[in-house]
Amino acid sequence: AHVKWVEPDNIHLTLKFLGYITKEELEKVKLATREALRPFAPFEMGVARLGAFPKINYPRVIWMGINKGREVLKRIASNLEERLAIIGFVKEKRPFSPHLTLGRVKSSKGRERLIEALTKVEATNLGKMSADKVSIMKSQLTP
């Protein structure tokens, strides 16, 4: 399968996708984000396994899941969701699933080999990282 891999420097964990926002909304988002994060201290995250959305047998997005720190991330995302709803952002209907996007599948040609490779990796601990800051990022997907 043809996969567009994320550049290592661009790998991140998304707490909330906002879509297009104005400069005025950005200022409100910054304030809401600060408020949502106020109760939380930096913590350690553990990267656990490889997976794919929507499912491993039909991969569109390839990701690494978070095990250690997962519950803290869920609380942070929930706090942020509530704060952003107050200023008019629609709440996400899907449950929050903390992950790091590694790549997007652009073509399903040869998908079987990709599925085989993904299912062979049964790692339970792919490393640790410190969660000590949140950034508001502009997302620009390329073809």
Active site residues: 12, 99
Give Cα separations from 58 to 5, 11, 111, 123 (angstroms).
Answer: 17, 22, 8, 20
Alpha-carbon dihedral 46, 141, 112, 63, rounded to 10 degrees: 10
Q: Give me 92's structure tokens.
A: 């996400």
Strand ranges across the sheet with 127-131: 2-5, 99-107, 58-66, 43-55, 127-131
Cα 22 from Cα 35, distance rounded (Å): 20
- Provide the sign of the torsion angle of the four alpha carbons 93, 84, 65, 106, taken in this order: positive
> Any idea what the Cα angle at residue 92 is, between residues 21 and 50, rounded to 5°?
105
